[in-house]
């Protein structure tokens, strides 16, 4: 899904990713200084990050439905989306554990959930970049939905030979 010629999902993901990752930085700051204002900021950053993540997920799901079936991109997109659902759930858990605390001060469990969330977001972010940067999904028509993994050292224009042989799009690739 595009707005003024640009895909919406990649524009939206920067906000929740930035908010959620930075909330962990504020948690560390709280642990180091004991300044409860940092815990309050972290709590509200997580709140905004969850809302932004849900909005980005809507547009991500719309984009995923538009990826050609039986392609590597469809599989990578599924892992990317499901992984990000887990990221949001981890931060929802972290947010929930802070709710009743004085000044929203995080417990060790809340910080642990945030750490796992940030770690998983690094992986799912890489998968999202694989879709956009490597396979050109959401960039333009004729995207290379079967490009090999960027870690393979093979060019993005190279298709998986088995899939290319059975794909009706192989003559256009």
**pLDDT tens-digit series, residues 47-105:** 999 999 999 999 999 999 999 999 999 999 999 999 999 999 999 999 999 998 889 99
Distance CA 111, CA 139 (A): 36
Q: Taking a C-beta distance cutoff of 8 angstroms, is the pair 26, 38 a contact? A: yes
Q: 70's torsion region: left (phi>0), alpha (psi -120 to 50) or beta?
A: left
Give residue 132's pLDDT: 87
Collapsed DSSP state (helix, strand, coil) of residue 2:
strand
Task: Give the pTM.
Answer: 0.81
Give residue 110's pLDDT: 97
What end-to-end distance do the CA atoms of the chain give, in Å? 23
Distance CA 46, CA 50 (A): 6
Q: What's the domain count of the chain?
A: 1
Main-chain dihedrals φ then ψ at residue 29, nearest 5 degrees = -60, -40
Domain residue limits at 17: 2-171
């Amino acid at each position: 899904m595009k707005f003024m010629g640009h895909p919406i999902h990649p524009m939206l993901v920067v906000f929740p990713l930035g908010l959620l990752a930075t909330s962990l930085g504020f948690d560390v700051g709280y642990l180091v200084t004991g300044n409860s204002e940092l815990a309050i900021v972290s709590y509200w950053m997580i709140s905004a990050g969850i809302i932004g993540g849900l909005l980005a997920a809507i547009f991500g799901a719309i984009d995923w439905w538009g990826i050609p079936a039986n392609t590597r991109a469809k599989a990578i997109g599924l892992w990317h989306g499901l992984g990000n659902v887990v990221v949001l759930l981890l931060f929802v858990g972290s947010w929930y554990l802070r709710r009743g605390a004085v000044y929203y001060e995080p417990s060790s469990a809340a910080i642990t959930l945030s750490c796992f969330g940030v770690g998983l977001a690094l992986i799912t972010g890489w998968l999202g970049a694989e879709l956009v940067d490597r396979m050109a999904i959401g960039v333009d028509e004729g995207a290379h939905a079967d490009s090999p993994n960027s870690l393979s050292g093979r060019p993005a224009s190279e298709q998986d030979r088995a899939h290319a042989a059975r794909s009706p799009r192989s003559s256009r690739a």
